[in-house]
């Protein structure tokens, strides 16, 4: 089983994203890409289609969170874009998650965001959405997502281990909050290196700034892969 490393294309527009990707033209296999809100809201589905035509695996990170009917319709629209992964918030609840699963079609994998990797324990309590600890909340939401038929979770690597222990074997554990040793954590609160994420049982990585802001992004990407694939 090959576990993916998604490069987060957090760029403001297609021009800068294309310039970035030009550096990877000789890299084979092509890296998997995560298109998030900034790029999608700027360029819309056309840029996603362009990347698909070039053969990239696409993770569309729109973190859907709305009433079940609206999310169901959104997922049905997104399924037509032929992307491979899509995020939605587990906190949207079982009915919302189930409606998304019903509308996703055969080839799209749904990933439920548990607690954002930018959240510390303190940030989470400040929202007053739960009195559970961060770990308890992540595990609870992971189990809820599994029950609703979602394909896996987004969490920090720190929670991947407990999710692995308490969910079925094929349940995906994709982890952002990844930094190469020595890189700044920026706005992230729960970060690990790719090596630590692998040891904690992650089954996929999302890496943004450690690659996109590196002096030589291709070298940084290869360092991530080297740590990840041991």
Ligand X SMILES: O=C(O)c1cc(=O)[nH]c(=O)n1[C@@H]1O[C@H](COP(=O)(O)O)[C@@H](O)[C@H]1O
Choose the catalytic residue: 26, 30, 49, 63: 63
Residue 61 known to be catalytic: yes
Residues at the site binding ligand X, with contacts judged by CB under 6 A = 8, 10, 36, 61, 87, 113, 116-117, 154, 176-178, 186, 188, 206-210
Dihedral angle sign, alpha carbons of residues 205, 210, 213, 216: negative
Shortest separation between residue 211's beta carbon and ligand X, angstroms: 8
Residue 63 known to be catalytic: yes
Phi, psi of 41 (to 5 degrees): -70, -30
How far, CA to CA in Å, does 190 sit from each of 58, 112, 186, 194, 227? 25, 17, 11, 13, 19
Shortest separation between residue 156's beta carbon and ligand X, angstroms: 7
Choose the catalytic residue: 30, 49, 66, 82: 66
- Could you tell me the maximum CA-CA distance found in the chain, to the nearest angstrom? 49
Q: Are 24 and 31 in contact (CB under 8 A)?
A: yes
How far, CA to CA in Å, does 77 sit from each of 6, 85, 94? 23, 14, 20
Nearer to ligand X, 36 or 92 (CB): 36
Shortest separation between residue 168's beta carbon and ligand X, angstroms: 21
Confirm or deny that 114 is annotated as ligand binding.
no
Pairing verdict, β 85-89 and 204-207: unpaired
Choose the catalytic residue: 26, 30, 49, 61: 61
Residue 183 known to be catalytic: no
What are the residue numbers of the active site?
61, 63, 66
Binding-site residue positions: 10, 34, 61-70, 117, 179, 188, 208-209
Binding-site residue positions for substrate: 10, 34, 61-70, 117, 179, 188, 208-209
């Amino acid at each position: 089983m090959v576990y993916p490393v998604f490069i987060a294309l957090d760029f403001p527009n297609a021009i800068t994203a294309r310039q970035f990707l030009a550096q990877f033209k000789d890299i084979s296999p092509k890296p998997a890409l995560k298109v998030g809100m900034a790029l999608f809201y700027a360029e819309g589905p056309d840029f996603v289609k362009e990347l698909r035509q070039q053969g990239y695996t696409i993770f569309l990170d729109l973190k859907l969170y709305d009433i079940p009917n609206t999310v169901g319709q959104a997922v049905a629209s997104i399924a037509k874009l032929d992307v491979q992964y899509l995020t939605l918030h587990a906190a949207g609840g079982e009915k919302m998650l189930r409606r998304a699963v019903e509308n996703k079609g055969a080839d799209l994998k749904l990933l439920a965001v548990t607690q954002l990797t930018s959240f510390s324990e303190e940030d989470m309590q400040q929202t007053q959405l739960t009195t559970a600890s961060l770990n308890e909340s992540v595990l609870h939401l992971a189990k809820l997502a599994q029950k609703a038929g979602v394909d896996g979770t987004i969490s920090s690597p720190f929670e991947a281990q407990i999710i692995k222990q308490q969910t079925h074997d094929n349940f995906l554990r994709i982890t952002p909050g990844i930094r190469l040793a020595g890189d700044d954590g920026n706005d992230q609160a729960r970060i690990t290196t790719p090596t630590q994420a692998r040891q904690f049982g992650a089954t996929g990585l999302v890496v943004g700034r450690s690659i996109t802001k590196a002096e030589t992004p291709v070298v940084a990407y290869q360092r991530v892969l080297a740590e990840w694939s041991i």
